[in-house]
Amino acid sequence: MAELKIKWQRLVDDSEQTCNRCAGTGDEIQTAVEMLRQVLAPLGISVIAEMRELSTAEFLKYPLESNRVWIAQKPLEDWLKAETGQSQCCGPCGDNECRTITIGKQKFEVIPKELVLKAGLLAAAELVVHTQ
């Protein structure tokens, strides 16, 4: 069975807290992963989700690595021809600028399931082509 790997990382501080932006993205990714599993199983593709926690030290060194998603080892923004940006965050992130994604004129702080689904389906299409 072919595997479609979805990796997401975000800041989790010493109190096991994350910001609202990352918490929202986490919920959206979980929903998208379940939907992709249902849709792709009949095609012989299993969906593997990896959720990675960034420490506060890692986050302070590279804040734009938080709330980052890869699908099939390729950044989400590459699949969607999106641009990355940044905006001030909150909570455990403090006043740091955190990752955003922009598609056209729409800017996303929380990555919606629809974007994860679209990128996942594009990646799955490549898997189907490569396994035949």
Task: Give the model confidence (pLDDT) of 8-46 as tens digits.
Answer: 999 999 899 999 999 999 999 999 999 999 999 999 999
Whole-prediction pTM: 0.93
Distance between CA atoms of residues 35 and 21, nearest Å = 21
Q: Which residue has the higher pLDDT, 14 or 131?
A: 14
Distance between CA atoms of residues 7 and 40, nearest Å = 17
51-95 residue pLDDT tens:
999 999 999 999 999 999 999 999 999 999 999 999 999 889 988
The domain limits of the chain are 2-131
Label residue 132 by pLDDT band (50, 70, 90). low
DSSP element (H, E) containing 62 = none
* pLDDT at residue number 111: 97
Domain 2-131 grouped into CATH 3.30.1490: no
